[in-house]
Amino acid sequence: MLARLSIDVIHVVPAAVPPLKAQPSAAPEHRLRMVELALEGRPKVVIDGRELERAGTSYTVLTLESIHAEWPGSRLVLIVGRDAFDSLPKWHRFEDLRALADIAVVNRPGFDDPGRLPDWLAGETPATAVDALAPPGRVIAVGMPPCDISATVLRRALAGHGRVEDMLPPPVLSYIREHHLYE
């Protein structure tokens, strides 16, 4: 995906207080550590804790503005699943997102093809790659096999002592069990 989207580095930003979802049951320091364990050894991935450090609701637009301020002139690509993309009009200042970044849409099971845009983008055609010369705000359809694992499914399986070994990296599962998370 990095090469296809012409991305040099991916920032994974855990949300502190997600505005459109239930509040996380695991403490922020646990969630940050699980992400670190899951992505350990990936040199082009940065675990970015800025939303956990910032007070208040985790708004993506504020995070993008913060990244722009830290790295002016950088081309940003917001990678979202099709489920999140379809809810974009509900996001805080969603109309400002496209001024800050391209939006790469990844397949999710049970959602429409990422190449078909929702009604609020009527008349637009999704791009298939980042174009560094074009202004930000393009929607890029990322064709890849959808991953049928969701955080909700994982939490339910963990709470009910279901089988999750094939859904989580071993270090993350060990951490969850060690700290009795999601029980």
C-alpha distances in Å from residue 44, one per residue of 2, 39, 49, 111, 123:
9, 10, 16, 29, 35
**Position 6, amino acid:** S
Q: Is residue 157 part of a domain?
A: no
Q: Is residue 57 part of a domain?
A: yes
Structural domain that includes position 130: 10-148
CA-closest candidate to residue 53, choices 44, 61, 43, 63: 63
Residues 172 and 34: beta-carbon distance below 8 Å:
yes
CATH code at position 84: 3.40.50.620
Q: Determine the pLDDT at residue 5.
A: 78
pLDDT tens-digit readout, 148-164: 777 778 888 888 878 88
Q: Determine the pLDDT at residue 125.
A: 73
Q: Is residue 28 part of a domain?
A: yes
Which residues of the chain are under the pLDDT cut of 50?
Answer: none
How many domains does the chain divide into?
A: 1
Q: Which residues 6+ apart lie within 8 Å of 68 measured at CB?
A: 74, 76, 100
Burial (Cβ within 10 Å: 0-12, 13-18, ≥19) of residue 124:
exposed
Q: Is residue 168 part of a domain?
A: no
Residues 30 and 36: beta-carbon distance below 8 Å:
no
Q: Is residue 107 part of a domain?
A: yes
Q: Is residue 120 part of a domain?
A: yes
Q: Model-level pTM?
A: 0.84
Sign of the Cα pseudo-torsion (152, 155, 159, 160, in order): positive
CA distance 40 to 91: 30
Helix, coil or strand: residue 115: coil
Q: Is residue 59 part of a domain?
A: yes
Q: Determine the pLDDT at residue 136.
A: 87
Q: Determine the pLDDT at residue 146.
A: 65
Q: Is residue 116 part of a domain?
A: yes
